[in-house]
Amino acid sequence: MNSVLVRKYNQPVPRYTSYPTVPFWTDNIDIDRWEQVFKNKFEEQNAQNGISLYLHLPFCESLCTYCGCNKKITTNHKVEEEYLEAIEKEWLIYRRLMKQTPIIRELHIGGGTPTFFSPGNLQRLLKVILKNSIKHPRHEFSIEGHPNNTTKEHLKILYNLGFRRISYGVQDNNHDVQRIINRIQPFENVKNTTEMARAIGFTSINFDLIYGLPLQKLESIERTINQTIELKPDRIAFYSYAHVPWTSKAQRLFNESHLPSAEEKISLYLRGKELLIKNGYVDIGMDHFALPNDELYKAVIERKLHRNFMGYTTSCTRFMLGLGVSSISDTGNAFAQNNKTLHEYYESVGDNRMAVRKGFFLSEEDEDFRKYILDIICNGEVLFLQKHLPLLEQYCFPRLEELEKDGLVVWDRNGLRVTAQGHHFLRNICSSFDLYIQRTETEKKNVFSKAI
Ligand code: SF4
């Protein structure tokens, strides 16, 4: 890839897992309005497609220093009980707003480390959620598993409840890298837990890998990818490490001089990509690869790919309820994020109140520009609505001229197509349509991670 372009576009830009992006949300969301929007959209979407649920289980036994998730580090498993009581209660608070029985089409358990919880406790939580709900006939249930603590019992219980997808955080198999990120995870563990999941009947296995970690070298990426290929996960998310030490304090635990430069980082990505493609994986879009028989690839072909807080998905619903500390709900026309600290989360739910704190209600213009960004990031092309021409001319077209000169897009007043080279800079292209950034010229440094 052209190193001049890498340097030019390696600017802080959002990852566009939402639009408007989180820094533009309001801090104290109007809860009555949120309840009303929730009720209306639930009725509409539940009947049409069913809904998606996200359950956030925040505990981890040890701190990975690269981590930017909302998590709580503890080895005390007594915390499971209090947390389960709270999340079950939060579900009942939302259940009271639902006039129809919820039809659960998608359910994803993320963290933290969901497999920190005992198999029995996971079963208890899921039984509460699924009781008095309808499982959609084509439901898709998935969970994030830690290779170090996912047991056969976890997998069996989840399988029996309808889970067929599991995503393992692998990151990098090199011991020096694992030591500096404080995540010692022998390849044997990854292998065993992958084989166990397959033997039990899981049909879609995802690995998360990261490039750009401290001490990562071409050889360690090659080894990690080659070992990954041996296990043939159906999907691979090959993420760029986001260095944001101003929000993730743990990232201050290693020295920045251990990080690869932007050029080295892009070489790590390109080498990884080359190996994956050579071994039958298809490049889905920003950081995601899949085998051709995987649903994610089929979604690309059928132009049904979607992007949300979990990255690219095949999601068929446009209504996501997030439960648990820091979880985000998305009704299509509003976002709401729960309290970020356990203390505040327990307090709200304990008082039978919604735990939502931060959020955003989208205007019609926001919804249209959200669709532009989703079309670019998922399909690599977009058609403009003629009613937006004055806005596009003012804020977006000048940026597109520059992107076109660099060979990243082809466009006219009707629409835009991303070029092969442009696929490496999707975040930058999307930011041209981010009216919040374009209008305010926000100081993006120390808000978003760099594009590469
Ligand atoms: S990377 Fe995962 S396991 Fe590690 S601290 Fe973050 S949430 Fe926990």
Q: According to the model, what pLDDT value does residue 313 have?
A: 82
Quick check: CB of 71 below 6 Å from ligand 1?
A: yes
pLDDT band per the 50, 70, 90 thresholds, residue 440: confident
Closest alpha carbon to 379 in 277, 305, 291, 297: 305
- What's the gap in Å between 78 CA and the centre of ligand 1? 19
Q: According to the model, what pLDDT value does residue 262 have?
A: 83
Q: What is the dihedral of CA 395, 396, 398, 403, to 10 degrees?
A: 150
Q: According to the model, what pLDDT value does residue 7 have?
A: 81
User: Rounded to the nearest 5 degrees, what angle is found at the Cα of 54, between the Cα atoms of 342 and 212?
Assistant: 80
pLDDT band per the 50, 70, 90 thresholds, residue 446: low
Residue 442 has pLDDT above 60, yes or no: no
Q: What is the pLDDT of residues 309-346, one digit of tens each?
A: 777 888 778 899 999 999 999 999 999 999 999 999 99
Residue 292 has pLDDT above 60, yes or no: yes
- Closest ligand 1 atom to Cα of 144: 2
Residue 306 has pLDDT above 90, yes or no: no
Whether the CB-CB separation of 83 and 98 falls below 8 Å is answered with no
- Closest ligand 1 atom to Cα of 68: 6
ω into 20 cis (within 30 of 0): yes
CA-nearest residue for atom 6, ligand 1, is: 67
What Å distances lie between residue 370 and 6, 299, 321, 377, CA to CA? 26, 19, 19, 11
Q: Which of 60, 66, 148, 210 to mutate to test the pocket of ligand 1 (most atoms within 8 A of CB)?
A: 60
Structure tokens given for 451 = 């594009």
Closest alpha carbon to 172 in 226, 96, 123: 226
Residue 445 has pLDDT above 60, yes or no: no
Residue 59 has pLDDT above 80, yes or no: yes
- Residue 12 burial (10 A CB sphere; 0-12, 13-18, 19+): middle
Residue 80 has pLDDT above 90, yes or no: yes
Report the range of poorest mean pLDDT among 162-171, 253-262, 275-284, 345-354. Answer: 253-262
Q: Kindly calculate the radius of gyration of the chain based on its CA atoms and give it in whole angstroms.
A: 21
What Å distances lie between residue 42 and 98, 277, 324, 333, CA to CA? 7, 40, 19, 12
Q: Which of 56, 113, 185 to mutate to test the pocket of ligand 1 (most atoms within 8 A of CB)?
A: 113
Q: According to the model, what pLDDT value does residue 250 have?
A: 84
Q: What is the pLDDT of residues 202-231, one digit of tens each?
A: 999 999 999 999 999 999 999 999 999 999
Quick one: average pLDDT of 183-198? 97
- Residue 229 burial (10 A CB sphere; 0-12, 13-18, 19+): middle
Mean pLDDT of the chain: 93
Of 136 and 284, which is predicted with more confidence?
136
Pairing mode, strands 288-290 and 282-285: antiparallel
- What's the gap in Å between 61 CA and the centre of ligand 1? 9
CA-nearest residue for atom 4, ligand 1, is: 64
Quick check: CB of 150 below 6 Å from ligand 1?
A: no
Residue 402 has pLDDT above 90, yes or no: yes
Residue 27: partners with Cβ closer than 8 Å, 6 or more residues away: 357, 358
Considering the chain, what percentage of its residues have pLDDT values greater than 70?
A: 97
Q: Tell me the residue length of the chain.
A: 452
pLDDT band per the 50, 70, 90 thresholds, residue 12: confident
Q: According to the model, what pLDDT value does residue 21 have?
A: 95
Q: According to the model, what pLDDT value does residue 227 have?
A: 97
pLDDT band per the 50, 70, 90 thresholds, residue 452: low
Quick one: average pLDDT of 143-148? 97
Distance CA 196, CA 442 (A): 48
Quick check: CB of 213 below 6 Å from ligand 1?
A: no
pLDDT band per the 50, 70, 90 thresholds, residue 179: very high
Strands (E) across 58-126 are located at 59-60, 72-73, 103-111
Quick check: CB of 70 below 6 Å from ligand 1?
A: no
